[in-house]
């Protein structure tokens, strides 16, 4: 009997080794990884520059607390601000913590800096923002909230791409609007460019902060370093995790200069925030992405993957649509895909779901054309076989 809480429904596979786009289980079987630990290992498994940075840091210092300075933290923050619209960074340990920090700074800016008492956050149905009490309340999916009542007040949910609903939800208590530009967990649904531009304009008019949850879309995943670059707007606050540390557990909340006074000394903190080891992983990850031009490669590979998928799956009536941006791709099917995922795993291809009827593909940003061809071939074979079995 396991000593672990059964909070995760695990596939019957035990991985012991990874390199690049490949994983090997404890039986020696090789897998092509098109889920990257749910968009985490964006440079592939065990990227050399990140590994070397971590090994070097392990020989120096592991932890000093945030009562002292250390150079990695400043360097990691500057890499992020130099390559984004942000002016300041708060490091943390996960995406949920990054979103907690975003919620807190938005409320504290309105209440302590502007003095207006605003606290409500508008989010969107089908969104996913984390598993803490505040972030699961922000999430627009009821399934993550069952059994956790009472939930914190101050969150309102409206449909994505519905500007009339957003306007109707705004009150004199609205502090911020929180948005995923692509709802990855919710089915790989993208915010419409016109909607996002109008949302930015609305926030500016109403004195509302715009928060972008870039935990899954950030760090090159969509073909830009950050997904907001596709939309021609800049957020007031945005959050990162997953791909920022190549598998090391890190997160970050970034904001523009006017919000800096809201996070004054003592207003927020974390024991393990931005440790020397964590920031070594961040520095090496970002530097590698810039050197390898990983976002540009993800853009080109994403177009290739989608075009090959559409060509291979076009004649299958059990496939509704292939959609996505960069290397965040969804294949919507006519029915539940849980059995399809299992069959793909058995064929040596790792993918994940995005809701009951959507297969989600998240290969690393340096994926090759040969690996894309291999994955498309396996997907086409499995979906064709399932269609044939269903019609016999």
pLDDT tens-digit series, residues 321-338: 999 999 999 999 999 999
**Residue 389 confidence (pLDDT) above 90:** no
Q: Are residues 177 and 238 in the same domain?
A: yes
CB-based contact 323:330 (threshold 8 Å): yes
Q: Are residues 271 and 309 in the same domain?
A: no
Of the candidates 132, 152, 160, the residue with the CA atom closest to the CA atom of residue 144:
132
User: Mind listing the pLDDT tens digit for each residue in 244-271?
Assistant: 999 999 999 999 999 999 999 999 999 9
Q: Where are the beta strands (DSSP E) in the chain?
A: 15-19, 22-25, 30-33, 88-92, 120-124, 155-158, 174-179, 182-183, 189-190, 209-213, 237-240, 251-255, 319-325, 328-333, 349-350, 352-353, 358-361
**Residue 42 confidence (pLDDT) above 80:** yes
What sign has the CA pseudo-torsion 107, 112, 114, 117?
positive
Distance CA 201, CA 193 (A): 13
Distance CA 380, CA 55 (A): 41
- Least trusted range by pLDDT, from 123-132, 212-221, 382-391: 382-391
Look up the pTM and report it. Answer: 0.96
Q: Are residues 286 and 300 in the same domain?
A: no
**Residue 234 confidence (pLDDT) above 80:** yes
What sign has the CA pseudo-torsion 255, 259, 261, 266?
negative
**Residue 278 confidence (pLDDT) above 90:** yes
Confidence label for 179 from pLDDT (cuts 50, 70 and 90): very high
Which stretch of DSSP H or E encloses residue 111?
A: none
pLDDT of residue 392: 75
Q: Are residues 209 and 82 in the same domain?
A: yes
Distance CA 270, CA 66 (A): 8
Confidence label for 390 from pLDDT (cuts 50, 70 and 90): confident
Q: What are the residue ranges of helices labelled H in 208-293?
A: 276-291
Give the three-class secondary structure for 382: helix
Q: Are residues 305 and 370 in the same domain?
A: yes
Q: What value does the mean pLDDT take over residues 123-138?
A: 97
User: Mind listing the pLDDT tens digit for each residue in 281-292?
Assistant: 999 999 999 999
Distance CA 344, CA 258 (A): 48
Q: Are residues 300 and 285 in the same domain?
A: no
Percentage, residues of the chain above pLDDT 90:
98
Which backbone phi and psi does 284 adopt, to 5 degrees?
-65, -35
pLDDT of residue 337: 97
pLDDT of residue 1: 86
Q: What is the CATH number of the domain that holds 149?
A: 3.40.640.10
User: Do the domain assignments include residue 356?
Assistant: yes
pLDDT of residue 335: 96
Distance CA 46, CA 35 (A): 15
Q: What value does the mean pLDDT take over residues 175-187?
A: 96
User: Do the domain assignments include residue 39?
Assistant: no
pLDDT of residue 367: 98
Of 224, 257, 291, the one marking the end of a domain is 291
Number of domains forming the structure of the chain: 2
Q: Are residues 369 and 224 in the same domain?
A: no
Q: Are residues 222 and 310 in the same domain?
A: no
Of 226, 258, 291, the one marking the end of a domain is 291
Of 259, 291, 323, the one marking the end of a domain is 291
User: Do the domain assignments include residue 122?
Assistant: yes
Q: What value does the mean pLDDT take over residues 347-357?
A: 96
Q: Are residues 286 and 299 in the same domain?
A: no
User: Mind listing the pLDDT tens digit for each residue in 302-321?
Assistant: 999 999 999 999 999 999 99
User: Do the domain assignments include residue 112?
Assistant: yes
Q: What value does the mean pLDDT take over residues 129-146?
A: 96
User: Do the domain assignments include residue 9?
Assistant: no
Q: Are residues 332 and 253 in the same domain?
A: no
Task: Say what the alpha-carbon torsion angle 101, 103, 105, 110 is, to the nearest 10 degrees.
Answer: -170
Q: Are residues 242 and 376 in the same domain?
A: no
Q: What value does the mean pLDDT take over residues 345-373?
A: 97
> Which residue segment(s) compose the domain that 364 sits in?
15-33+294-391
Percentage, residues of the chain above pLDDT 70:
100
User: Do the domain assignments include residue 6?
Assistant: no
Q: How far is CA 314 from CA 84, 137, 318, 326, 340, in A?
A: 38, 39, 10, 20, 17
Q: What is the CATH number of the domain that holds 320?
A: 3.90.1150.10
CB-based contact 321:115 (threshold 8 Å): no
pLDDT of residue 303: 98
Q: What value does the mean pLDDT take over residues 133-155?
A: 96
Q: Are residues 286 and 338 in the same domain?
A: no
User: Do the domain assignments include residue 4?
Assistant: no
pLDDT of residue 391: 83
Instruction: Give the chain's end-to-end CA distance (angstroms, integer).
Output: 41
Query: Omega of the bond prior to 163 within 30 degrees of 0, cis?
Result: no
Q: What value does the mean pLDDT take over residues 67-96?
A: 97
User: Do the domain assignments include residue 8?
Assistant: no
């Amino acid at each position: 009997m396991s000593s672990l809480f059964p909070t995760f429904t695990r596939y019957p596979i035990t991985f012991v080794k990874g390199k690049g786009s490949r994983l090997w289980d404890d039986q020696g079987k090789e897998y092509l990884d098109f889920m990257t630990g749910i968009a985490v290992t964006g440079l592939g498994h065990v990227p050399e520059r990140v590994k070397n940075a971590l090994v070097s840091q392990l020989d120096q210092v592991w932890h000093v607390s945030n009562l002292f300075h250390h150079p990695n933290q400043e360097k990691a923050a500057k890499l992020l601000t130099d390559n984004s619209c942000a002016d300041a960074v708060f490091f943390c340990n996960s995406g949920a913590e990054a979103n907690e920090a975003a919620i807190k700074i938005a409320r504290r800016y309105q209440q302590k800096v502007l003095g207006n008492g605003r606290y409500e956050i508008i989010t969107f149905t089908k969104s996913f923002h984390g598993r803490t009490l505040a972030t699961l309340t922000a999430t627009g999916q009821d399934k993550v909230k069952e059994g956790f009542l009472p939930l914190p007040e101050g969150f309102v949910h409206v449909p994505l791409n519905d500007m009339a609903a957003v306007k109707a939800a705004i009150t004199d208590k609205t502090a911020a609007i929180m948005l995923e530009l692509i709802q990855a967990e919710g089915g790989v649904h993208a915010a419409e460019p016109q909607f996002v531009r109008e949302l930015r304009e609305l926030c500016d008019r109403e004195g509302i902060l715009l928060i972008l949850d870039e935990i899954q879309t950030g760090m090159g995943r969509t073909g830009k370093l950050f997904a907001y670059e596709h939309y021609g707007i800049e957020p007031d606050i945005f959050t990162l995790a997953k791909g920022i540390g190549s598998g090391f557990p890190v997160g970050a909340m970034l904001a523009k200069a006017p919000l800096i006074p809201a996070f004054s000394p003592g207003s927020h903190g974390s024991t393990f925030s931005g440790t020397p080891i964590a920031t070594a992983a961040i520095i090496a990850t970002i530097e590698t992405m810039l050197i390898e031009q990983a976002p540009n490669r993800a853009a080109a590979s994403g177009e290739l993957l989608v075009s090959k998928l559409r060509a291979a799956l076009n004649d299958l009536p059990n496939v509704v649509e292939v959609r996505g941006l960069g290397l965040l791709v969804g294949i919507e099917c006519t029915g539940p895909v849980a059995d399809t995922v299992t069959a793909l795993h058995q064929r040596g291809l790792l993918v994940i779901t995005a809701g009951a009827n959507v297969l989600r593909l998240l290969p690393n940003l340096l994926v090759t054309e040969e690996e894309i061809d291999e994955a498309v071939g396996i997907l086409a074979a499995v979906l064709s076989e399932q269609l044939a079995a269903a019609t016999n």
